[in-house]
Structure 1
């Protein structure tokens, strides 16, 4: 057991990360590979599942080449992945069409239909949103009936990876919660909610907890990379729940993620829905645990978008900021490049810069972008507070967490002290590996409840927190004003 290894595979929107850790959670090898993103115009967003597999293969090949024999002591593999995607396979396990992704907004009309047809908020515990899986399937039924008629299984993205690894169909609770077909309180598929989309439980993978084993690695894959034939694959978790497991945020605590999207995440002792402000209430990755999330669809992606406009790197943009931000920007940014979930549930919301004039500089636009995302995260913390979850401290993870300036702005805007954990950029992969450890030890949840070490903390500055109050309320007023102009009565 002293030489046991555990592998975490995190399927991200833009890249796959593979992480190998030992019993002491020391990283022994890691690799990443980009994922080719779709080229469809918004609100459509799709990716080819075959590309995910190629990226995982490339990452595994890289570790095998640089660390020969590295996989020989792997006991278990854990999975993490972006949520809500719809991978449709036929009876032969062949993919019927590209995966409709989490940030796809084409199913607005279907959301209205499903809201009328069944009690999704009462059973599923969440509003019917275009990003979730259920309305995507109704869209397929209405617009691609031939494909719909061939569906054997509907799989979530990481569960398609599981099928490739094991040849078996399994789904775990945290990810399944984001389909809108799960009875979240009872932790089982709802025939009634599936029926509203023309589906049955036969179309779904078997459910399992994230800390449990779901199958064994297929022999040809074990032989290719030198895994033991007994290597198991754990249930795993959706990306945000996996990141939480990587930090020990399971029974308590909180986290703020600054990835492509932005997420405020907090465990709850019971299933605690709050649909009035589009709070997500899902199962967590361990038995008998749940969590709440506030979600914004564009976070670090806003900065990447701005960098592309200027033809610079993100690092170059951030260098345009003053060394210390001493006041809110005179410009404001609404960060809704792909719509908004919490608190407005508006997939058609758009982004905008406000209060531009001839004196506006690149530095102003960069600061406004960082502040706009921070204001949106404060919307999320306020929504969670309305659901009974108040956050004073939180871990922060994701690529955006590498910017000290951004962390300080978020802390000042939200009033939350932010802690930067070890391996913050690998949070979901670490969580997936921890879930693999739990599954290898009979589902022992102690492997995912251990708090991670903190490298440093960023506390709110009293003067700046007060200074951002007016700016935040102006931001909220401007969103409502823009919406009223865009959708006249």
Structure 2
């Protein structure tokens, strides 16, 4: 029986899963990564650390399931998006990778918009320091000797592919996040590249995420105990696109709401959608002929962890949630709870405002930790409602929506999110395997298994339908939150 490998090059770790031909989990492993912050706003990683961590994770998988490892039939790759990995003509990294959460290139974002009048039309997205293009403009300006030697620019997972295969290849979903891809036509855009002083010769070849991109090199195959095997590597995808594949969000209208450190609403479309002025991320999906719209609220489950910490709840988040539920069960107390503006780390959708801040309004002496925590849960729900409104305005609202991420374990929060957004939310019963599992699925398709057989949806553990009776109160409180942001901007 064959097995399939999925690898996710994350920011804090490399995760790997080995699944069987029936998509059963055989083994999983991870290896930690560290982020360097040598200066304010900077966030970097050594590309070599990705390869070292990948080797470590692979060794653990092979040791955990040696017989299944010997039957490896395919590999799929996922990874953190937007990282600028600069290589010289010999394939050596010229400097540490500038990561997705690096904020140094704000001035370069403005320069790109000024230099190409139809930039957002071509790229389907606005410029942000997190994306790859402004990072290269920063390097050209501040490290000209590095820029002059740059022969190839790769994204993190594609650097690992290069180390695995010797080939420079990317795929559509991750490449769309560089701001150099014509998202509608799924090809590199010479004008966008030229705005950064680059040409297509410095870009990897692009394939679809479910296509074979390369094969494991003979040297690496031998190192991994797979001597003489020609194992295909799928194009793979960016982490969110791979997560979507992992939960079967592959058809137009399929979507998910992810309640992790940040909050994400993701919708599959059968055509490109764009609303750059409202910070809609418009990317290609990891499957051919499909795209996706994605909106992001920067503080989600992290906001709950924050309020638990400052109120003394510490690690007992479940206990705090139980107190919140009792508090909110009394309509009068809920109606007079504080209102929370949830921008603890700035905000992306819909404001694209890194300077946005958080605040409570309406605090009273009788408000305790449970009232503050309720306001935080509600504020995050309102921020995700703003995200959904952007997708609605772009014509890309989900018609079915799974809820994933750590926050999905709270039934109370799931119901509050359904009430605040108006979305019916289904929580999968399967374990959260995430992007690495989606990458393994793409490997299966690249190895010849039909997409329809691979990309099935998971069984559902719980469903949450919006309570229409909650809409008037939540609508009034959401309006107060938005007014708080407008007032803060005027101040």
Question: Normalising to structure 2: TM-score of the pair?
Answer: 0.91
CA change 1:39–1:371 in 2 (3 A) is farther
**1 CA distance for matches of 2:345 and 2:102?**
8
Which residue of 2 is the match for residue 143 of structure 1? 142
Which residue of 2 is the match for residue 351 of structure 1? 358
Which residue of 2 is the match for residue 398 of structure 1? 405
Spell out, residue by residue over 1:287-343, the C-alpha distance to the aligned partner (whole angstroms, 9 max, x if none): 111111112233333334445556765x51342122454336723333333332211
Structural RMSD (CA) = 2.2
CA contact (8 A) 2:169 2:206 kept: yes
Which residue of 1 is the match for residue 473 of structure 2? 467
User: What is the SS of the residue equivalent to 2:435?
Assistant: helix
User: What is the SS of the residue equivalent to 2:385?
Assistant: helix
Which residue of 2 is the match for residue 172 of structure 1? 171
After TM superposition, the structure 1 stretch with the greater mean CA deviation from structure 2, 200-209 or 346-355, is: 346-355
**1 CA distance for matches of 2:365 and 2:145?**
55
Which residue of 2 is the match for residue 6 of structure 1? 4
What stretches of structure 1 of length at least 5 have no aligned partner? none
User: What is the SS of the residue equivalent to 1:425?
Assistant: coil
After TM superposition, the structure 1 stretch with the greater mean CA deviation from structure 2, 87-96 or 192-201, is: 87-96
What stretches of structure 2 of length at least 5 have no aligned partner? none
The 5 A counterparts of 1:429-448 are: 429-441=436-448, 444-447=450-453
* Residues paired across the two proteins, number: 481
User: What is the SS of the residue equivalent to 1:69?
Assistant: helix
After TM superposition, the structure 1 stretch with the greater mean CA deviation from structure 2, 342-351 or 265-274, is: 342-351
After TM superposition, the structure 1 stretch with the greater mean CA deviation from structure 2, 43-52 or 140-149, is: 43-52
After TM superposition, the structure 1 stretch with the greater mean CA deviation from structure 2, 338-347 or 241-250, is: 338-347
Question: Normalising to structure 1: TM-score of the pair?
Answer: 0.92
CA contact (8 A) 1:105 1:347 kept: no
Spell out, residue by residue over 1:425-452, the C-alpha distance to the aligned partner (whole angstroms, 9 max, x if none): 212122111100010017x433554222
CA contact (8 A) 2:295 2:391 kept: yes
Moved over 6 A (4+): none
Deviation at 1:392, TM superposition (A): 4.9
After TM superposition, the structure 1 stretch with the greater mean CA deviation from structure 2, 304-313 or 453-462, is: 304-313
After TM superposition, the structure 1 stretch with the greater mean CA deviation from structure 2, 131-140 or 432-441, is: 131-140
Which residue of 1 is the match for residue 391 of structure 2? 384
**2 CA distance for matches of 1:34 and 1:306?**
27
User: What is the SS of the residue equivalent to 1:254?
Assistant: strand
Spell out, residue by residue over 1:77-131, the C-alpha distance to the aligned partner (whole angstroms, 9 max, x if none): 1111121111112222222222222222222211111111112211111111222
CA change 1:304–1:87 in 2 (3 A) is farther
**2 CA distance for matches of 1:343 and 1:59?**
38
**1 CA distance for matches of 2:156 and 2:340?**
32
